[in-house]
Structure formats: structure tokens, C-alpha cells
Structure 1
């Protein structure tokens, strides 16, 4: 019995050692598998990082290319026309940009620019009649559109539309007439408003430039038109022009008048501001609300004076309740005596009231 017990006691440690060895082997295998898995994850992470860096580089390149393209497009748009609004029209599978023409309402002075813009866009971008018809339908306004309304239906009528617009609004006589109207509507310059000569000088220079550009220089030799321009000057400047005209070898022209007037305008611009200011602007005088300062002339009839309001008035001659213009004592005097009295009272020479002068009356 004792031998058996000794054998069993000897076998028990051996089996326990075997079990411990197998468990240790299993743990080592698990650690090795885990380490292998970690290495694979690391390898995948490295590759993923490389892919991410590559993608970031591609995105950065794409952004730089996009910015370069945007800059190029912006430069092209600025060179073409910043005010033009572009539209895309598909024609034959290709996109064509249509740039809006300037608005045209029938003003004769706008017609040359409108015609030049139409011809330039058609030639540069090779627009067809259909494209130009879309242009005309959008840019024509008011009277210009009413004139060619029926022609804006079919693309084949584009040339007829331009000819009709040219005949109705772009004739040379209409352009010259519009410039002459500006000259005729300009008010005559007075002696106390010499700074208006600057505006007159600009008007005459523009008129000369227009006739030269339109190849109508023959109108610059028109003596009647020159006389109208000289009449716009104050009397003192008319005398100066007449004296200058005598120094010219040939007959004076509007171009020579423009050069002379420009020199006068330069001198006026260089004058000190207080001397150059217009005296035509009358200072505003605040009248009391209780008085009626209606202008009266010295030769007014008595029944007109009777229309004065019911406010109390006092005669400066006899202190009676009436105006001095109706005072019998004042009217009984002769003209010289009345003149002396008005100057003593410092009254207005027009209405014989105080508080202002004849310019402010």
C-alpha cells in the first residue's frame, strides 16, 4: 500500500508540470498572434497615412489649379468688359457667352456707341442672327423698341432692325441738331455771373470735338452759329472777342472761338474763390410773418394799391395808415424831391419799402 501511495505522489507533480508547460505554450502562442496582429495593424496604418498624405497633396494641387483658373477667368472678364453680364447659350453642342449690349432708348447721342458695340460683339464672338436677336430684344427700350417691335420676331430681320434704327435715330443731321439744341438752350452769361463761362467753354469744346469726329468740319465755318455763340457772352467779353478776331488773318471760326474761350475759362478757374463766385445768387432775407412784402412798382394804379391786406401800415412821409406809394403828400412832390426822399429813407427803389434793395426785391 505504501508503495502505491509513493507512486501516486510522484506522478502528481509531473502531471501538474506538464499542464503548466502546455498553458505557457498557449500563452506564448497567443502573445505571438497578438504581436503579429499588431504588426499588421501598424503596417495598414502606415499605408493609410501614406494614402491620406497623397490625397491631401492631390487636393492641394487641385485647389491651386482652381485658384489659377479663377484668376485667369477673372483677368479675361476684366479685359473683355467688367460691366457685361455673361449668359451661356448652347449652340451645336458648344457654350457661347452672350454679352449684353448697352441699353438704347432712341437717344440720338447713344446710337453711335450702340451700333459700334453691336458690330464689335458680332465680329469678335461670331454671333449668329439668333444670338443678335436675343441681344436686341433685351437692350432696346421705349421708343427704339416700339419702332422695330414687329421686326423682333424672326432672326432673319436683324439687319433690317439695325437699318431702321440707324435711319430713325442715327442720322448725322439728328446728331448735329441735338448738339445745336444744347447751345441754344444755354442761357446767356451775365456780367455778375462770369463763372458760367467755364460751362460755356466746355460746351463749345465738346461741340467742336463732335463735329471733328463726325467729319463735319464745314459747320465750324458757319458765321451765324458763331454769332449765336458770341451772343452768349457778357458785353465785356464780346468786346474782347471782337478785338481778338481782328488779329486773325482769315475769318474767325468756331474752333478759334473755342480756343480763345478756353483761355478765358482757365483764367477764371485760377481766380481766388471769393472773386470767382457768382453774384447772381441772392441772399435769402427772412421777412417777418406779420408783414406782406409783395413787390409793387412805382407806377402802379391806386386800385391796385387798394388790394393791400388789412395789416397795419405806416406812411414814411406823413405817418398815416397807408403806404407811401399812395400818400398824397408824397405824390404831390416832383420827381427830384421824391428821389431825394427815397434815398434819405434808404427804401427800395422798386416798391419803396425798407429792409431790402432793388436786387433783392
Structure 2
């Protein structure tokens, strides 16, 4: 199967070689002439332009043959023979074209540019293939008219080697939208080209409208909201473009520096505007537009550098995180990373919420609910209901999240996810013997100042301790243990004994 494919490729290569031979015989015929006519030169130029694609086709075909062949050395000789003959023919053809009396017409859409001297019309032997020059397009916007007009005049309109019918063809191809409608009704004839170009110029080559349009563009540049290198450069480009256009329209833009600087400074963001005012205060004389443009360019370069460094840092951090994930490619590690990331974002979101909504839902003061005296004076049941109505976290009494997402400590009594202020005290079934009733009477005045929101019947633990007075005497006393108390009390009986 491979042999059959190689055989087909070799036949195609033979056809290419025959084209090479035909072109060589044609050159030999021209070389025998004493002087070439214009028709012969045009014929040679046309053949030579098509002859350039023969080598590309051969190179692709020869590569396929060499990949399939079992004897690459022989195929290398075939390539060498073809290239030697090809370049000899190219040199001979260029030599013949270099003897032409006048430069041939090179239309602007041809991919091979003329390398000859514009005055002598002769071709140079070191002719290179230049990029294709595309015709400009014009859609009917005044902002783009001057650029289109100057480019079209240079490429098409002022060329004496292009006839009017071809110029009209290029003009139609260049116009789009509303601009094309102006000449769309003209017949496609050579004598209508001048009329078409005059119609277009009379419509758009209006100095008053062009000046008004470019000035309007200067006044309507968008404001820069935040520091941005691209926005600053866009402001510079738009200003320079319109000023150049106005200068072309004979406007005295060289005296407009103060006005333009004021207009552009008003479009800057607050940070850049402040920096410009600080920079201007260091100048002894009023700044010129060139100084202002230089300042903006330096600021844009600085922002671009900072943005690149920030992007590199993000990429570095991402690569580091990917490396850690790949190194610890375990379900536990992945779960830990996800939980850590979720916890970080949750806390960050909560903190931002606290900053934005630090208003007590109870009294509308600037504090959290747990700090509100009116809230603390309520009973536990009322506190719970108020916290639910305010839609705050029942664990920390802060807004913005729920108790399952809260990272603060739970209730210090039962360790559940609710605030200590919302803890419901339950009666204990087994406790140590409490103080005698006679001794409890001495505590009645003190215990009245404790939390009034506790249940009316609370049994607390007690313990017997040994107390030493100032004289060194030891006394036995019973203490009442209350984990929620914030003050210490002693009875008068113990103090006097």
C-alpha cells in the first residue's frame, strides 16, 4: 500500500519537473531576443508571479515522499537538483524583468511588492516579498475620514499607472455602510470615477463639520472611575488623535495646552488627579501638554508594572496551592483545604457584614445586640424570641450568619450552639445539702441583686471550707457555689464570728 502511494507522489513530482522544464524553455526563447516588447514583459511577469508557488507545492510533496521512502539519500539528491534548477530560472527571469523600460503596474492588493526604483523603474536583484497592503475601509464616520482620505490618495487616487475603471473598483470596495450609498447610484464606468470621488469629498471633506466633530470627541471622552493603565492610555490616544486631526484642519492647537490639560485632568480618577495636582505644584511655570502627557504615560507604565507583578503573584500562589494539593492528594487533605477555604470566606464575609450593619435591632444604637441593656433586662424567653425576630446568630448574637456557621465559643453552661444569655437553667435533681434556712436568711439581702431573670427555684451546690481570720483563728463556714455569679458576698454573721 505504501509503494502505491509513493508511486503516485513520484508521478506528481514528475509533473512539477515538467513545469520547470517548460518555464526554462520559455526563458531561453526570450533570451534569444535582442529586445523585449512590453507585451512580452507583461507575459513574463504574469508567468513569473505564478511560478513562485511551484516551489511551495514541490517542497510539500517532496517531504511526503521522503517520509515514506526507504532511501532518503536518493530523495535528497532529487530535492537538490530541483532547487538548483528552480533558483537558476528565478535569477534568469528577474534579470529579464530588470531590463524592462518602465515599471509595471503593481496594484495595491498584490502580495508581491515592487522592489524597483521609483524613478528608473528597474528591478533589483535582491527583491523581497513584502506583506500585502490592504485598502482602507471607510464606514461614513467623520472621525476616520482624514485617515481614509490620505491613505486612499497615496495608494490609489494619485497613481498614474492605474486606470479610472480600476480606481472606481477600489473605491467601491473601500466604502461601507452610509458612505457607499453616496456613489451607489453611479454606473460602473471609467468616466464616473471622478464624479464618485468628488461626491465623496463634498460629503465628508467639510472642514467645519470635521472640526466640530473632533472637538466634540475631545469633550466627550469617558471619565476614568478607577486607576487603570488601559484607561489612561486610551485618554492619551484619543486626545493626540483628535489634536493631530485638528492641526491638519489648520486649527491653532499649539496654543491650546492649558485648555486641553484642564479638560483631560477632569477626566482622571481621583487618585491620579490628586497626584497630578501635587506634581503641578512642584513646577514654577504653567505645565505644557507634553509635560502632562509624559506624566500620564509614566503613571500608566507604573500601573501596568504593578498589575503584572500582581498577576505573577497570583500565578505563583496558584501554582503553590496546586503543588500542595498534588503532594497531599488524599481525601482528608482535600477536605481540610476545602473546609479551611470555606471557613476563611465565611469569616471574611461575616466581618464585612458587621462593619456595614453595626446597628442594634433592639434600640437602634451603634452596638451589638448582646451589649444592649434593654435586651439584657428581658427574660430568657423574651431574649430568645427577640434574637429570632432580629434574625441574628443565636450563638454570638451578631447578624450576617447562622449559628451553624459561627466560629465563636458556645454556651459556657451546656456547650451548645447558643449564647450564654439565652441559656435556659434546668433544676438539678441531685444536689448536696444546702444551707440551713436560718443561715439563708442572712443571704437574702445579697442574693436579691443577682440576675433577676433566673427561675424562682434554683438549687445550688454548697461546700464546707476552713476560713482563717486576721488573728490566725480557723473557722468552719459553708460556701454557696454559683458558676454564673459575677460578684462575691459574705454574711455579717461570718464577719462577726
Bigger Rg over Cα: 1
Greater fraction helix: 1
Larger relative contact order (CA 8 Å, sep ≥ 6):
1
TM-score when scaled to structure 2? 0.36
